[in-house]
Structure 1
Amino acid sequence: MSFIRTFSGDIDPEQLGFTYSHEHIICRPPYWVEKGADDLLLDDYEKSKADVADFQQLGGQSIVDATAIDYGRDVLGVAKLSEETGIQIVGTAGFNKSFLWDAKLTDSLHNIIGNYTTFGQWIEETSINDLTKHVITEVEEGLEGTRFKAGQVKFGTGYNRIIPLEEKTIRAVARAHHETKATVHSHTEAGTMALEQIEILQSEGVNLNYVSFGHMDRNPDPFYHEQVAKTGAFLSFDGIGKIKYYPESTRIDCILHLVDKGFEDQILVSGDTARKSYYKHYDHGLGLMYIIGKWVPRFIVEANERGYDGEALIQKFFVANPARCFAFKP
């Protein structure tokens, strides 16, 4: 039987419901702490909780928290928020992109991964097998020594390049996936290097049906998207609301191009809401209510105008596809 692993326990995939597939809820990334980048620190429990409550009031049921160990997770805070709101949270084991690894390890992390100075030193000096064991532990025992287990494993690469340490983490995550059956999520910087990541995953024997590639809308290239989709992988359009990159019309066009090609069962949608200025209750931003409250109705209208069944597509992107994507399949 397949299941989805949440902070509140393993559930049947049909219980996941309306889901944002890539968000950050409470986190203090050490890299941005050291840079003094306050906008990138989601560090107020009550304000994060208020935005999650907005999402819930509009019918939201689950959120995938894509915050890995190198992005300043607050495991206990997110678990408490899940318990108090009833929103189901899927946690993340693994790693993010390499430029974050210059940050110094906090005292609490020394207790988890050892006496290293930075994330980069830890990853460089630790064998792939031991990195794999670390990821497996976070899936099967708990994140950062807690009892709250990860429901997916993650890796990331930089803009238009994959450095050796990033390849090392890809291979560690791939091997952890084989051991745990947890689904794999990829961070692609500005939507680049997915095809190169795929080559590494394939060399590790990973079935791409169990992989989702993030930030595909940061590289709005329909041909590129189609090449990724042909592998069977999920494509995550998780920059909704970020008009500084592209208008929503561009994202919708890319999504409907994939639908036209028959890939509607491989599309995920979310906001990657990782700044105070994106959150309503931190800094008057669009907030977690925006996608479910404003973008979904717009998408339905545009899809219907082009001859699609907009409501059926929304059901796929936010309910049926996440239920398949994030399921452990023993």
Structure 2
Amino acid sequence: MRSIFPSLLFFLSLFSCSTPENNPPYFNSVTGSFPIDSLGLTLIHEHMLVDFVGADSVSPERYDQEEVIAKVLPYLLEVKKYGVKTIFDCTPSYLAKDPILLQKLSEQSGIRIVTNTGFYGAVGGKHLPEFVFTESAEQLADRWISEFEDGIDDTGIKPGFIKISVNEETPLREVDEKLVRAAGITHQKTGLKIASHTGTWATASQEVAILQEMGISPSAFVWVHAQAEDDFQNYLRAAELGVWISLDGIGWGVEEYVDRLFFAKQNGILKHVLISHDAGWYDPAKPGGGDFQPFTNIFEKLIPALKAKGFVDSDFEMLLIENPKRAFGLN
């Protein structure tokens, strides 16, 4: 195994040997539940398969699982060489979330994969089934709670977090507010954390306010795609509340993330930051699944760039090991 910084393998070995007492925090993966201390080096926002055709047309018949595995598996084995132990797959329902496919990829790669529950409201609701517009937040939450308790569909595979998305509007659209409330109810019943595809703080702060009204700590909320925020002072505001700031498009570029992470380090808020690539994306609409984006920019480009700015091993351990563990543990 290639080490990305000298102390990483030792750090991981401590986790694998830990034996916490009496109901330790845990996480759900597609191959079962494990103590959160075994999460290890984690990428918290990636995609194996995504189908953007829309909720009214998405179907498992649009792709062949074995073809997807043949395309995706080499990329998982590639990033495994950097010590990655767990990957969160952020493809939600009605965008081709396929827990069995993820289970096969996990078993063949040796990387634990975490899937989700929830619905995706962005793109004007294109990826929402019709019942989302008529059911209440409580009814939607019942669906997601059932997946946590009984498994997704008939797979027995349980989600490890809630994935929703909202449109960038002020005020939030009615259906987007309902999705946030449904996620809040689900969190209250299950402990699952809420990762919301958002963008700017103007939108994320509205979501946080709804959760606070429900008596939910902002620490249950992951501000997905926070790299869209141009006012870095809003990172400080989010961190002060306890929100998780997810900088998760590193598969598509590095420079803008160096600036944001340097700001976070200089201002003492790295402990509130999560990083990932938002990479992968086998697309059934494209020949051969299209161009699959590797999961390696963090290790090959971002870490060297940050080291040149004064980052040290403990910073990377915090971003890639400690923060995911603190953000996503269940009790």
1:81 positional shift: 0.5
Output the CA distance in 2 between the equivalents of 1:193 and 1:101: 16
Q: Is residue 301 of structure 1 aligned with residue 304 of structure 2?
A: no
Against the structure 1 CA distance between its residues 16 and 52, is the aligned structure 2 distance closer, same or farther, given a 3 Å change threshold?
same
Deviations 1:51-103 (A, max 9, x none): 11111122111101111113221111011111111101111111122436335
Q: Which residue number in structure 2 is paired with residue 260 of structure 1?
A: 266
- Which consecutive residues of structure 1, in runs of 5 or more, have no partner in the other structure? 36-40, 104-118
Q: Percent identity of the aligned residues?
A: 23
Q: Structure 1 counterpart of 2:123, which letter?
A: F
Q: Which residue number in structure 2 is paired with residue 321 of structure 1?
A: 323
Output the CA distance in 1 between the equivalents of 2:299 and 2:330: 26
CA contact (8 A) 2:222 2:244 kept: yes
1:191 positional shift: 6.3
Output the CA distance in 1 between the equivalents of 2:190 and 2:55: 31
Q: Which residue number in structure 1 is paired with residue 11 of structure 2?
A: none
Q: Which residue number in structure 2 is paired with residue 205 of structure 1?
A: 215
CA contact (8 A) 1:160 1:189 kept: no
CA contact (8 A) 1:300 1:314 kept: no
Q: Which residue number in structure 1 is paired with residue 4 of structure 2?
A: none
Output the CA distance in 1 between the equivalents of 2:307 and 2:277: 18
Output the CA distance in 2 between the equivalents of 1:59 and 1:18: 6
- Which consecutive residues of structure 2, in runs of 5 or more, have no partner in the other structure? 1-23, 59-63
Deviations 1:117-168 (A, max 9, x none): xx34211111222111101111222123311100001221112342101111
Output the CA distance in 2 between the equivalents of 1:99 and 1:204: 26
CA contact (8 A) 1:30 1:72 kept: no
1:274 positional shift: 4.9
Output the CA distance in 1 between the equivalents of 2:55 and 2:93: 14
Output the CA distance in 2 between the equivalents of 1:249 and 1:133: 42
Q: Which residue number in structure 2 is paired with residue 44 of structure 1?
A: 68
Q: Which residue number in structure 2 is paired with residue 116 of structure 1?
A: none
| Structure showing the higher helix proportion among its residues | 1
Q: Which residue number in structure 2 is paired with residue 249 of structure 1?
A: 255
Q: Which residue number in structure 1 is paired with residue 243 of structure 2?
A: 233
Q: Structure 1 counterpart of 2:294, which letter?
A: G
Root-mean-square deviation (CA, aligned residues, Å) is 2.5
Q: Which residue number in structure 2 is paired with residue 124 of structure 1?
A: 133
CA contact (8 A) 2:208 2:221 kept: no
Output the CA distance in 1 between the equivalents of 2:76 and 2:251: 16
Q: Is residue 84 of structure 1 aligned with residue 108 of structure 2?
A: yes
1:192 positional shift: 5.1
The size of the alignment, in residue pairs, is 297
Q: Secondary structure at the match of 1:148?
A: coil
Output the CA distance in 1 between the equivalents of 2:173 and 2:70: 38
TM-score by length of 1: 0.83
Q: Which residue number in structure 1 is paired with residue 150 of structure 2?
A: 141
Q: Which residue number in structure 2 is paired with residue 111 of structure 1?
A: none
Q: Structure 1 counterpart of 2:272, which letter?
A: Q
Q: Which residue number in structure 2 is paired with residue 19 of structure 1?
A: 42
CA contact (8 A) 2:56 2:129 kept: no
- Equivalent positions of 1:283-294 (< 5 A) are 287-294=294-301
Deviations 1:279-302 (A, max 9, x none): xx9666651122223322322222
Q: Which residue number in structure 2 is paired with residue 184 of structure 1?
A: 194
Return 149-158 or 293-302, whichever deviates more. Answer: 293-302
Q: Is residue 158 of structure 1 aligned with residue 167 of structure 2?
A: yes
Output the CA distance in 1 between the equivalents of 2:104 and 2:124: 26
